Amino acid sequence: MRKVARWKIVLLVVILALAGWSLYPSVRLVAMSEEGRAAMDPEERAKLEDQAIHLGLDLKGGMHLVLEVDKSELGDDEARDAVDRAMEIITNRIDQFGVREPTIQRGGADRIIIELPGLMDEERAKNLIGQTALLEFQLVQSIDLFRDILFKVDKVAKGLDLEDLTRGVPTEGDTTASDTTVVTEADSLSSEELAPPVASAKVHFVPMGGGSERALVMEGNVNELRAILASSKVQTVIPEDLEFLWANEFEEGPEGRFKEIFLVGEDPELTGSAVSNALPTANPRDPSHLHVTLELTRKGSAKFTRVTGANIGRQLAIVLDGKVFSAPVIRTRIPGDASIQGNFTDEEARDLAIVLRAGKLPAPMNFLEERTVGPTLGHDSIRKEIRAIAIGGITVVLFMVFYYKASGLIADMALILNLILILGAMAMLGATLTLPGIAGIVLTVGLAVDANVLIFERIREELKLNKPVRAAIDRGYSRAFVTIIDANVTTLITAMVLLYFGTATVKGFAVTLSIGILASMFTAILVTRMVFDAITNRYELKSLSI
């Protein structure tokens, strides 16, 4: 009587125990109700979730972003560190933002891959992450100088094809109410003749306190003026050390929306490096909106004091990524802090503060890929899939019993064991379960059955040749073994390739498939054999229920 080898039993028990132990956290998590989960101490819960099976974004909900660092304007040295520095800064920003368990990874030479589970506000997240956040303090030039340059622009701008220009410019706002300025075909004008006010007609000068004026542009004209100012011909009349900058937002007026435009010195007096901290603060005059107060470093503070002292009466524009957020008039020397005033909501102020605190990105970021899955879709998908798998699983189980009788039952046990093994392995390896991954488990059910079918068909053949039961089982297993190995290895090869080439969701599938194949080989070859051996040891079988 050949006993079932002791080591096999021990191995099986050990593996089962391991699987059970590693699955326990997941079971606990799933079994807990919503209230129970909320009531848990957050640290403990985080640990529990970490030990349980990780769910992919497509099941959990969240954002997946792929960014590319635009190194085109960087020098070689800078370019080398650019991605690492960008990652640091982005990590900083995300940390402050407070997303749980974000993943920030480098993807190749130029790319950063970010996963933010649970987050749903895509725009906000993208702004937070993608914003370069270059902060500059630039002095606003006198309004007379503004007028001068504007008239020069008029002269040069006649004959410019506006259609052509505006096509290349990023659009904003509503362009349906634009001014139709006729550009004459007139030849060059002498300096006394007035040039058609292509540019200056679009700008309204409105007095503001202190004797100066603001330059405002109606919404419909913004794009055209922007295009005109950007054209190379016009650029020649704008002095090199000056530039035109636009305000960050539109303002509401009696005749519609408009934006302010500034002429500023190109060289910043102060930059973001002078900022040591940024805080959202209450606006005493408007409780529903916030300011962002900037605390400056010692050096920055000293410089700031110097600059404000030397420029009393002028405006200092606070510019973020080329847009003017505010341009307060310097009334006195300001020692210490500055503040950015705008109509910021809670969120906007907080985000801006985060971005300023973390520092500016070394280079602009391009969003290459963005995928967001809402949490409800994740839940729905899980529910539907599990239901489908349950039905499918039960059908297969019943079929096996129907077709292979008692041996079918043994195979079914192996199937269940399989599932436990796969899930346990995934929990232990910290693998991520994705939607295709669940489908991979389904496929594994089919493959697991396959291994058993191969063995059982062989055993049937041997029995038909009137071999004794024990021998039939032996021959069945040994003959099928080779085939199982060959067949499964090739599927494993494709799974490996998928693992290498796939994106996150596909990788999840490849992982579950691979684990599934290995598990099914294990259960089919080792476990069911053990059961057969155990039974044939106990009973002298004349025939086999197969």
Partner 1 sequence: MELIKGTNIDFVAARKIGFWISGALIAMAIISLVAHGGPRYGIDFAGGTLLQVRFENPVGVEDVRSALSAVGYGRAEITSFGGGDEILIRVGEAEDTEVSTPEIVKEALRSTFPGNPMETRRQEEVGPKVGRELRQQGIWAILFSMLGILIYMSWRFQFSSGTAAIAALFHDVLITLGIFSVLGREITLPVLAAFLTIVGYSLNDTIVVFDRIRENMRVFHRETFSTVVNKSINRTLGRTVITSLTTLLAVIFLFLFGGEVIHDFAFALIIGVVIGTYSSIFVATPILYAWQIRFSDKKGKSGRKK
Under rule CB under 8 A, residue 505 binds partner 1 = yes
Do 490 and 505 meet the contact criterion of CB atoms below 8 Å apart? no
| DSSP structure string for 423-446 | HHHHHHHT-EE-HHHHHHHHHHHH
Give the residue with the Cβ less far from partner 1, 11 or 442: 442
- Among positions 439-458, residues that touch partner 1 (CB under 8 A) are 439, 442-443, 445-447, 449-450, 453-454, 457
**How far is residue 349's CA from residue 212's CA, in Å, rounded to a whole number?**
29
Span of 19-27, 116-124, 147-155, 338-346 interacting with partner 1 by CB under 8 A: 116-124
Q: Which two tokens stand for residue 462?
A: 């041997």
Give the residue with the Cβ less far from partner 1, 139 or 396: 396
Give the residue with the Cβ less far from partner 1, 157 or 222: 222
- Among positions 65-94, residues that touch partner 1 (CB under 8 A) are 66, 68
Residue from 506, 530, 535, 541 that binds partner 1 (CB under 8 A)?
Answer: 506
Integer angstrom CA distances of residue 70 from 60, 79, 271, 363: 31, 9, 21, 6
Give the residue with the Cβ less far from partner 1, 69 or 140: 69
**Binding marks (x or -) toward partner 1, 507..526, rule CB under 8 A?**
--xx--x-------------
Residue from 17, 471, 497, 534 that binds partner 1 (CB under 8 A)?
Answer: 497
**How far is residue 241's CA from residue 264's CA, in Å, rounded to a whole number?**
9
**How far is residue 355's CA from residue 377's CA, in Å, rounded to a whole number?**
31
Under rule CB under 8 A, residue 230 binds partner 1 = no
Span of 32-40, 77-85, 150-158, 497-505 interacting with partner 1 by CB under 8 A: 497-505
Which residues have C-beta within 8 Å of that of residue 85, sequence separation ≥ 6? 361, 362
Under rule CB under 8 A, residue 401 binds partner 1 = no
**How far is residue 312's CA from residue 334's CA, in Å, rounded to a whole number?**
10
CA atoms within a 13 Å half-sphere pointing along the CA-CB vector of 14: 6
Do 341 and 291 meet the contact criterion of CB atoms below 8 Å apart? yes
Q: Which two tokens stand for residue 423?
A: 């899930």
**Letter for the amino acid at 127?**
N
Residue from 151, 230, 461, 467 that binds partner 1 (CB under 8 A)?
Answer: 461
- As beta bridge partners, residue 217 has 203, 259
**How far is residue 94's CA from residue 462's CA, in Å, rounded to a whole number?**
65
Give the residue with the Cβ less far from partner 1, 109 or 496: 496
CB 442, min distance to partner 1, A: 5
Under rule CB under 8 A, residue 543 binds partner 1 = no
Under rule CB under 8 A, residue 177 binds partner 1 = no
Under rule CB under 8 A, residue 385 binds partner 1 = yes
Q: Which two tokens stand for residue 29?
A: 């998590």
Under rule CB under 8 A, residue 371 binds partner 1 = yes
User: In terms of C-beta density within 10 A (0-12 exposed, 13-18 middle, 19 or more buried), how is residue 479 classed?
Assistant: middle
Do 226 and 175 meet the contact criterion of CB atoms below 8 Å apart? no
CB 420, min distance to partner 1, A: 17
Residue from 24, 502, 518, 535 that binds partner 1 (CB under 8 A)?
Answer: 502
Do 65 and 365 meet the contact criterion of CB atoms below 8 Å apart? no
CB 517, min distance to partner 1, A: 9
Residue from 23, 263, 373, 469 that binds partner 1 (CB under 8 A)?
Answer: 373
CB 112, min distance to partner 1, A: 13
Identify the DSSP state of 159: T
Under rule CB under 8 A, residue 435 binds partner 1 = yes
Under rule CB under 8 A, residue 95 binds partner 1 = no
Q: How many residues bind partner 1 (CB under 8 A)?
A: 78
**How far is residue 118's CA from residue 101's CA, in Å, rounded to a whole number?**
9
Under rule CB under 8 A, residue 391 binds partner 1 = yes
Span of 149-157, 212-220, 285-293, 366-374 interacting with partner 1 by CB under 8 A: 366-374
Under rule CB under 8 A, residue 392 binds partner 1 = yes
Residue from 29, 201, 237, 368 that binds partner 1 (CB under 8 A)?
Answer: 368
Q: 3-class secondary structure for 254-286? A: CCEEEEEEEEEECCCCEEHHHEEEEEEEECCCC
CB 279, min distance to partner 1, A: 28
CB 445, min distance to partner 1, A: 5
- Among positions 474-493, residues that touch partner 1 (CB under 8 A) are 479, 482-483, 486-493
Q: Which two tokens stand for residue 528?
A: 């069911």
Q: Which two tokens stand for residue 78?
A: 């800078």
Residue 94's nearest CA partner among 50, 51, 63 is: 63
Under rule CB under 8 A, residue 395 binds partner 1 = yes
Under rule CB under 8 A, residue 393 binds partner 1 = yes
